[in-house]
Amino acid sequence: MLHLVLAAAVAISPARIDAAINALDGIATQVQKRSGIPGLAIGVVRDGKIVYAKGFGVRKVGTNERVDANTVFALASISKSLSATVVAGEVGAG
């Protein structure tokens, strides 16, 4: 879904990277609507610098605690397998 994962391994023009980053707000909103997840955060590092960091939605259903760029999610051991699955899917997609 998000092709920035392989940006370091595949030659992508700076203009395409900028366009992808600019599309993240809309992508996040679509993901929330389709999945029903209450909140998410996205961070993008480009050339060793954070170029995008933003939270969307709430931390917990029924609260007004907003997700922000500094929200820490309790993913535990699932983060490694989740990351590997995303990368494998992107590699498979070409």
Q: Would you say the C-alpha torsion 33, 37, 40, 46 has a positive or negative sign?
A: negative
CA 19 to centroid of chain Cα atoms: 15
Q: Give dist(CA 94, CA 31) in Å, integer.
A: 22
Write out pLDDT tens, residues 17-54: 899 999 999 999 999 999 999 999 999 988 889 999 99
Q: Tell me what percent of the residues of the chain surpass a pLDDT of 90.
A: 53
Q: Give dist(CA 13, CA 17) in Å, integer.
A: 6
**Beta-carbon count within 10 A of 46 CB:** 15
Q: Give me the pLDDT at residue 10, please.
A: 64
Q: Is the pTM of this model over 0.75?
A: no
**Beta-carbon count within 10 A of 67 CB:** 20
Q: Give me the pLDDT at residue 92, please.
A: 77
Q: Where are the domains of the chain?
A: 3-93
